[in-house]
Amino acid sequence: MDFTFSEEQEALRASVREFLLDRYPIGRVASIADGAGFDRREWREVADLGWAGISAPETLGGTGLGFLDELVVEEELGRALYPGPFLATVVMALHALVATGAEDLAGSIVSGERIATVAWAGVDGGFDTDPPPKVSWEEDGLSGVKLFVTDLRSADLLLVVGATVAGPGLWVVDRDSRGVAWRELPTVDATRPLGEVVLEEAPASALAWPDHRLLDVLRDRALASLAVEAVGVATRALELGVEYARTREQFGKPIGAYQAVGHQLAQAFVEVETARSLAYWAGWAVAEGTPEASVAAATAKARAAQASVAACERAIQVHGGIGFTWEHPLHRYYKRALGIASIMGTGPELRRRVAGYILDSDGSADEGVRSDAEAPGPMGATSESAAL
């Protein structure tokens, strides 16, 4: 058993962090978010560093590393509130293109020439896999309405997830072709733009459908990725809270010396670190395709989002009035955390999935119960007690 990242992965983390500190300090992220938005020409830089194709096969120009390496990058991007399309184009679209054998398109994503995003949820906001939201696909093209399309403004290509009478499918649509009307949606979290697409008989090419698991895998990749991103956001927000509590003085001492303040931050640390454990577990399970991958991804996303929102809220509280201002960057972390909590399944929705797994499936969740009776310990104590 080994629950640590390799030296190569730690080196990757360090270089991503260094790049982001240099190119995307929080002040610049804030002016991108409040200004003209992410300039898609800057994506080329990320692709040139090899991070767009980090887990793509070398035959497509990728680096040939794994999903865990991708998550190392994603955690750092979350920490920096990087406003570009990594989740949309690398974690989701590129994987779908590789899995369906669309090598030319995949290659153009790896090189940074094209940016793709996935159009999945319909107007009800659900990212369902079985079946996915309805679309209509006839000779003259693809029709349907898609909302919550991440980084639509930077994308050249849309991968449309949907179900027709014939079953689930995936189509590639050129964002700027005829039959496509799209617009940006004003969002709470301006560091992650979202859009709406209305397809009316849009020219589309159907991708080869590999197997019924593809959408589950895509969803699990996104959930695990959102989980590590949330951990990155939470870690930075907690750092800001701690720095402030160390230096801000009231009643003659740093406010961090008061337990009412210190314990809030300690509790945030407990929540963030336990969420981190879940996020890495989910990343590993998804990377390895273990039977627990889906429930691990759901668990990790639910807990990491919750921990991240709570860490930001505690950091805002610790900052007092300044934490409530637009000028201070905390609200940007908070809004990203809220965004992660709301997309692709809220806490209650994900817990419903977990409950189904542990209560409705016959098998792993309740096997191995030896007996209902108490095993006395040396002291006549119960098994719960003896070790402490």
Partner 1 sequence: MDFRDNPKEAAFREVVRRWLDSNIPAGWGTPQHRMPEGTERLAFYRDWSRRLYEAGFVGMTWPKRYGGREAPVTHQAIVLEEMGRSEGPEHIGLIGIGMAGPTILAHGTEEQKDRFLRRILTGEEVWCQGFSEPGAGSDLAALQTKAERNGTAGFVVSGQKVWSSFAHIADWCILLARTDWSGAKHDGLTYFLMDMHSPGVEVRPLRQITGDAEFNEIFMDGVRIPSDRIVGEVGNGWTVAITTLMNERANVGFALLARLDIGLRRLVGLAKDTSRDGSRAADDPLIRDRLAELWMDFQAYRFTVYRAFSEFLKTGRPGPEGSVAKLFWSETNQILTKTALEIEGAYALLGAGSDRAVDGGRWQYAQLRSRGNTVEAGTSEILRNIIAERVLGLPKSR
Q: How far is the CB of 235 from partner 1 (least distance, A)?
A: 12
Paired tokens of 232:
């990155």
The verdict on 232 binding partner 1 (CB under 8 A) reads no
The verdict on 22 binding partner 1 (CB under 8 A) reads no
The verdict on 348 binding partner 1 (CB under 8 A) reads yes
CA distance 141 to 143: 7
Helix (H) or strand (E) holding 359: helix 347-359
- Is the CB of residue 109 less than 8 Å from the CB of residue 115? yes
CA angle 338, 73, 196 (to 5 degrees): 45
Burial 118-141 (b: 16+ CB within 10 A, else e): bbbbbeeeebbbeebbebebeeeb
Considering beta carbons, is residue 136 or 277 the nearer one to partner 1?
A: 277
What x-and-dash track marks residues 41-70 binding partner 1 by CB under 8 A? Answer: ---------------------------x--
Q: How far is the CB of 283 from partner 1 (least distance, A)?
A: 8
Q: Which residue has the tokens 């003259």?
A: 140
Q: Which of residues 283-342 bind partner 1 (CB under 8 A)?
A: 284, 296, 299, 302-303
The verdict on 251 binding partner 1 (CB under 8 A) reads no
The C-alpha R_g of the chain, in whole angstroms, comes to: 22
The verdict on 166 binding partner 1 (CB under 8 A) reads no
The verdict on 11 binding partner 1 (CB under 8 A) reads no
The verdict on 253 binding partner 1 (CB under 8 A) reads yes
The verdict on 386 binding partner 1 (CB under 8 A) reads yes
CA distance 217 to 199: 25
- Is the CB of residue 148 less than 8 Å from the CB of residue 125? yes
Binding site for partner 1 (CB under 8 A): 1-6, 68, 242, 245-246, 253-254, 256-259, 262-263, 265-267, 269-270, 273-278, 280-281, 284, 296, 299, 302-303, 348, 351-352, 354-355, 358-359, 365-388
